[in-house]
Chain A
Amino acid sequence: MNKTLNRRDFIKTTSATTIGVATVASGITLTTFASTNKVPVTNEKRWGMLIDTNKLTEAGIDGMVSACQEEQGWGSELHSTGSQKPGWIKKLKVKDKATGKVSNLALMCQHCEEPPCVDVCPTNASMKREDGIVLVDKHLCIGCRYCMMACPYDARSFVHEALRNQKEHMPRGKGTVESCTMCVHKVDKGEVPACVASVNSDAVIFGDLYDASSKINQTLRTVQSAQIRADLNLNTGVRYSGI
């Protein structure tokens, strides 16, 4: 899952910024963990993740990748060649050109608030839930792959071969596009995403960005964090500290 930065320049263009914190801080406070299963999700929450690149080791990132594969059932495609293989979450090395500092990033769909993948989708298959989780509605996806081209993070994959024995909670099929779902099937049950659960430290925090009492909100208020390619103003749900 190693990936080099040849196609798009991932070098962070802003220095560590407090903009993310300001946006988060203005959110609505929610105190209870309502059982959301029976009622539609609302925009009173915004799910997000904070990845501490100093604490998260390379092995930790590898663990996240395997946890994702195991949970969602991707990665054992038999006929797809190298670049056709799905990659919902990747390990990425970024180098600060000035200092030469190398950081390892776990990169998945950033669950943008203004997602370009949704803007370009001709069928409304690419969609954002009210709570900020960006998904592909495979019932509507025609496999045109516009969204793959539009995504600045190269976060989406196209399924190139017929599949069987998918996970019950994660339908996947040939001719449709897929990407990190933030383990929406678990989040809707009040659980955390599989990759977050695989990390045995607070190197990766998952939670409601708007909830002032949540760990992620509080951490984002106190540490410097950044969005990758913050210059694009997509207001990503996945944030990084230590880069």
Chain B
Amino acid sequence: MNRLLIVFLTLLVSSVFAHTNLGEQASSIKASGKVFHESISIIRKIHPEFLRHKRDKTLRQGVRTDEYSLKGCVSCHVNKDKTNNQYYSVDKKGQFCSDCHEQVSVSLDCFSCHRTIPKEGSL
């Protein structure tokens, strides 16, 4: 039974990530062979912790480094619509964030306040 469960979970997790839409910049970093996230499994599992830690440091203490900044996630993992040269929101269906979050039914609350595309003028 346990073995079956493991097989099932592995299938589930790998199927979640199987068609992940990495985003333009992230895809080209990956293609170039450079390593951005030291461990993919860690960033997959605990990115909410990283973001939470970072948000407290930034908002409450004024520490404004790039590491684990949500702006950074968005600008690297966003995709552009080639037809009109506009960005897709990262929380839009089929885009980087919602791809997994929808699959596993975990609601995504960052973007009720945060901007979903890189800052204006960066196109």
The answer to whether B63 touches A166, judged by C-beta atoms less than 8 angstroms apart, is no
Counting chain B residues whose Cβ lies within 8 A of the other chain, the interface size class is 20 to 34
Nearest chain-B residue to A166 (Cβ)? B115
Nearest chain-A residue to B112 (Cβ)? A173
Question: Residues of B contacting A37 with CB < 8 Å?
Answer: 62-65
Question: Residues of A contacting B118 with CB < 8 Å?
Answer: 168
Question: Residues of A contacting B55 with CB < 8 Å?
Answer: 139
The answer to whether B62 touches A166, judged by C-beta atoms less than 8 angstroms apart, is no
Q: Quick one: given A168-B119, A188-B64, are A137 and B59 in contact (CB under 8 Å)?
A: yes
From B60, B112, B114, contact of A129 by CB (8 A): B60
Question: Residues of A contacting B115 with CB < 8 Å?
Answer: 165-168, 171
The answer to whether A40 touches B63, judged by C-beta atoms less than 8 angstroms apart, is yes
Number of interface residues of A (CB under 8 A): 32
A41–B118 Cα distance when bound, in Å, is 27
Q: Mark B30-62, 1 if CB is under 8 A from A, else 0.
A: 000000000000000000000010010101111
The answer to whether B65 touches A38, judged by C-beta atoms less than 8 angstroms apart, is yes
Question: Residues of A contacting B89 with CB < 8 Å?
Answer: 164
The answer to whether B116 touches A41, judged by C-beta atoms less than 8 angstroms apart, is no
The answer to whether B116 touches A164, judged by C-beta atoms less than 8 angstroms apart, is yes
From B62, B63, B117, B119, contact of A131 by CB (8 A): B62
A126–B79 Cα distance when bound, in Å, is 35
A95–B103 Cα distance when bound, in Å, is 61
The answer to whether A188 touches B62, judged by C-beta atoms less than 8 angstroms apart, is yes
The answer to whether B114 touches A39, judged by C-beta atoms less than 8 angstroms apart, is no
Q: Is A172 an interface residue (CB 8 A)?
A: yes
From B63, B113, B119, contact of A138 by CB (8 A): B113
The answer to whether B61 touches A41, judged by C-beta atoms less than 8 angstroms apart, is yes
Question: Residues of A contacting B114 with CB < 8 Å?
Answer: 166, 171
List B residues at the A interface (Cβ < 8 Å): 52, 55, 57, 59-65, 71, 89, 112-120
